[in-house]
A and B are shown apart, each in its own frame.
Chain A
C-alpha cells in the first residue's frame, strides 16, 4: 500500500478543523448507564398526549429510563404520573397500555388501581385505599395512610402533551422548553389536538443516532421523496436551524412541493389544501428536543417521535400522528393519508430513516474499529448545516462530564467543549442561541 489506510482512518477527517464525536459514545454500555442517570432521569420527557387520557380515570402506561410509569387522569381532571410499581412487594400494577379505571378487573374494585398480587388498592391520586387483612397482619405498625404510590413530576403543556420528570428537584417545565417552542406553539395551541396514529419500532441502533438523524437534513439524499419534493425547490437551502438553551433546535418553515412527487394525485392525498392552524399551505416546521424528542409539523399532519433507550445498541421509538380534535371525518381522513404517505410504517420516508440508523448501529457496533464521526458541516446554520448535532453534543458533554469526542479523557468544562472550535476561513458559524454552549462544536483538541 502506498497510503496507510489504518493511519488515515484513525486520524480525523479534516484534521483539527472539523468537529467530530467518538463512535464509542454510541456503543459503550457504561456510558449508556450514565446517560440514563444523568440525562434521561433528569430531563422533562414527552410521554403521551392528553387526548390519550381524555376521560376521568383514563390511564396510560409507559416507561422512562427503565422506570415503569402510570399516567392517570384523576377525578379532579388532573393528569398525574406514578411509578407503576406496588409499594408492597414491587409488582407491576397495571399491565395494559391504556384503559379506564372504571372498568372492573379480576381483582374487583372499579375506580381503583389494584395490585393483582395481594390486592392492595390505590386511587387515581396515588393514595392507598385498602390493604387486605391489614390489621390482622400489620396491627398498628402499618396503616393505609402510611402508604402511597411513588408520584413523579407530571405536567401537561405545549399543545396538550404530557411530560414527566423523574427527579424531585425538577425545574419548571417551561423553563427550558418555552424558547424552543416559540415558533411551533401557535400551531399547536390554536385548537385542541388529538392523536390518531401510534406505532413503535425497536431499532438496532443507539438512541442518539436516531436523534442525530432527526437533527440534520443532509440525509435528504437518502429520500427519493425529499429529493423531488423539497431539495430542488426554491428556498430549500434557506431554511435555518435555530439553537436554544438545553440543546434544543428548531428548523424554520418552507413550502413543500408535494406535487413534484410522481403520481402525486394518487400516491398522496387527493387534495393538499388542508393545513394546520396558522401554518402556510404545505408548510413544514420541525423542533428537536433534547434528549430524544422530535416534533415535525408538515402540511396537514403533526408527527411526534419519542425515543426510549433500551440498551446502548437498542432503542424503542414511538411514532404519533396528530390532527385536530375537531376535525371533520373528511379532514381526518386526509390527515391520516398525508401522515401515512410519508411517515407511516408503510410510508415513503420512515423505513428509509430507520434503515439508515440501523446501518449506523451496525457499522459502529461495539468492538469495531473506532470512528471519528463527523459533525462538521457549516453552512450558516442552514438546512444541511450540522449545528443541531454540535449543539446536542455540547449539552451531552456537559451533562455527562465527558467530552463527546474524547469520552475517556478527563473532562474540563472550563476549556472545552463549550468554546467555538477553530475552523478554516470559510467556516462561518451562525448561531442564534444566546448561550456559550450554543452551536459550539465538540472540541477539536
Chain B
C-alpha cells in the first residue's frame, strides 16, 4: 500500500484514470490521453495464436512511438467509425510504494460511419475486439500515470484492422 493511501482510495483513483484514459481515446483527444501516461510508457498489443501456438505482438511502441503514430493518423486512410471502449477494472495489485499492476477487461465497439456502404451500414454498432488491459501505473505528484500497457486481445479477426489503437 502506498504511504497514507488506502486500497480503496487507490482503486478509486485508478478507476478514474482508467476511465478518463479510454474516454480521451474514444473522443480522439490524444494529447489528453498522453498526459495520463508516464515518460517511460510502453504500449503493446498482443494476441495468442492457436494456429501457431505462440504469443504474438501486433504493436509495440514507447511513448514517442505512440505520439508519432497519433500524429500521423490524419495522413492515413482509415475508418471514420466512432469507437467506444468499455473497460472494467478487475484486479489491483500494489507492487511497491507508488506502483500498481492492474488487469481490466476490455470491449471495443465500432459505430460505423464510412466503412462499408454508409447508406446501408452507417450507424450500426458492432463489437470490434474483446480482451484485457494488463497495466502498470506509477504515482507521481499525486497522479497515477500509465507506465506500461499490454493489451491482450482475445479477438483475432479484426476485419480491415485499424490505424488507431485499442
Contacts and interface: CB of A to CB of B under 8 A. Distances in A.
Interface of A: 52, 60, 96-99, 195-204, 222, 224-225, 262-263, 266-267, 333, 336-337, 340, 344-348, 350-352, 354-355, 358, 362
A337 B61 CA distance: 9
A96 B163 contact: no
Given A98-B50, A266-B68, A346-B165, A358 B160 contact: yes
B79 A355 contact: yes
B68 A267 contact: yes
User: Top 5 closest A-B pairs, CB basis?
Assistant: A263-B68, A354-B160, A345-B161, A351-B161, A267-B68
Interface in B106-159: 115-117, 156-159
Contacts of A345: 58, 158, 161-162
Contact of B161 (A225, A266, A336, A354): A354
A195 B62 CA distance: 25
B37 to A, nearest CB: 15
A245 B64 CA distance: 48
A358 B121 CA distance: 13
Contacts of B59: 340, 344, 346
Contacts of B3: none
A236 to B, nearest CB: 19
A96 B53 CA distance: 11
Contact of B160 (A97, A266, A355): A355
Nearest to A199: B156
B52 A347 contact: no
Given A201-B159, A201-B161, A355-B79, A344 B58 contact: yes
Nearest to A354: B160
B71 interface: yes
Given A222-B77, A336-B57, A346-B45, A267 B65 contact: yes
A368 to B, nearest CB: 11
A283 B161 CA distance: 26
Contacts of A52: 51-52
B69 A267 contact: yes
Nearest to B78: A351
B62 to A, nearest CB: 7
B162 A355 contact: no
B113 to A, nearest CB: 13
Given A267-B72, A344-B59, A346-B162, A98 B53 contact: yes
Contacts of A262: 68, 71-72, 75
A52 B53 CA distance: 8
A34 B67 CA distance: 49
Residue among A98, A195, A266, A337 having the largest count of chain B Cβ atoms under 10 Å: A266
A408 B150 CA distance: 54
Given A198-B51, A201-B158, A266 B76 contact: no
Contacts of B115: 355, 358
B57 A340 contact: yes
Size band of the interface chain B makes with A: 35 or more
B77 A352 contact: yes
Given A196-B56, A202-B159, A348-B163, A98 B78 contact: no
Nearest to B120: A362
A229 to B, nearest CB: 13
B165 A198 contact: no
Nearest to A52: B52
B47 to A, nearest CB: 8
Given A204-B116, A266-B68, A355-B79, A340 B58 contact: yes
A87 B19 CA distance: 54
9 contacts: A52-B52, A98-B53, A99-B53, A198-B51, A199-B47, A201-B158, A224-B72, A346-B59, A362-B116
Given A263-B68, A267-B72, A351 B163 contact: yes
Contacts of B77: 222, 351-352, 355
Contacts of A267: 61, 65, 68-69, 72
Contacts of A351: 76-79, 160-163
A291 B78 CA distance: 28
A96 B50 CA distance: 8
B163 A346 contact: yes
Contacts of B71: 262-263
Contacts of B53: 98-99
Contacts of B158: 199, 201, 345
A275 B59 CA distance: 20
A60 B53 CA distance: 11
A352 B76 contact: yes
Contacts of B45: 346
Interface string B33-74: 000000000000101011111101111111011011101100
A347 B164 CA distance: 9
Contacts of B162: 345-346, 351
Interface string B87-121: 00000000000000000000000000001110000
A361 to B, nearest CB: 10
A198 B116 CA distance: 25
A259 to B, nearest CB: 13
A63 to B, nearest CB: 13
B121 to A, nearest CB: 9
Given A96-B50, A347-B161, 14 more contacts: A52-B51, A97-B50, A98-B52, A198-B52, A199-B49, A199-B56, A262-B75, A263-B71, A266-B62, A266-B64, A346-B161, A346-B164, A352-B77, A362-B116
